[in-house]
Amino acid sequence: MELFLAPAQLDPVLYSGRSLYLVPDGPAAEPGYAVLHAALVQRQRWALGRMVLGGHRQIVLVRPSGAALALQVLHYPEQVRSCPLAAVRLPEKASEEMRLAGLLIDAAGGSIDWNAYQDQAAQELKALIEAKLAGQPVATLEPERAILPLLEALKQSVTAQNGHAAAPSTKARAPRKRARRTA
């Protein structure tokens, strides 16, 4: 490892999406593994280095992940495209939209429940395949599309977060499509 850094120093845009778990290579490596893991946790640091992976030199990050160490493959900074909206000017004064956006952020704050984030598409695809194999007719729905003005969408979101049912807008909703049957 070349550098130990605070997690906040790393821009998440550098993550390549490739993650591996590191495990000790036998009983002789377990004490060193445990010491490195404990030291990274205690100091709240991650290790940055380089290694050859798949025949290519990669930048990698080693970080604690539960009781294990995870290796994250990173992009080189020159591989990351800059954002074309970097020159957009942010609003200088508070507006009703900014106030409502702040209320929404405050109301929706909390800890993450990862069980609420499931791969719905995979589950729906599996159910569709099973229904087709069983010879059952399958109904598909067209997605509902609605374009709301920003202020109205923020008001509905804040109302919903505060436990009240958001009143649907009648003027901005697109008509609902009927389900089609496909064989």
Residue percentage of the chain with pLDDT more than 70: 79
Inside any domain, residue 62:
yes
Inform me whether the pLDDT recorded for 172 exceeds 50.
Answer: no
Band of the pLDDT at 9, cuts 50, 70, 90? very high
Inside any domain, residue 101:
no
Inside any domain, residue 99:
no
Range of the domain at 156: 128-183
Inside any domain, residue 52:
yes
Distance CA 65, CA 40 (A): 10
End-to-end CA distance of the chain: 57
In this structure, what CATH number is given to the domain that contains residue 38? 2.40.290.10
Domain boundary among 78, 97, 117: 78
Distance CA 48, CA 25 (A): 21
Question: 152 or 182: which carries more pLDDT confidence?
Answer: 152
What pLDDT does 25 receive? 92
Distance CA 146, CA 171 (A): 10
Inside any domain, residue 120:
no
Q: Which residue has the tokens 């640091």?
A: 45
Inside any domain, residue 22:
yes
Structurally, how many domains does the chain consist of? 2
Inside any domain, residue 135:
yes
- Sign of the four-CA dihedral 18, 19, 24, 29: positive
Band of the pLDDT at 170, cuts 50, 70, 90? very low
What pLDDT does 47 receive? 95
Q: Are residues 8 and 68 both part of a single domain?
A: yes
Using only C-alpha atoms, the chain has a radius of gyration, in whole angstroms, of 24
Q: What is the mean pLDDT of residues 47-74?
A: 94
Inform me whether the pLDDT recorded for 175 exceeds 90.
Answer: no
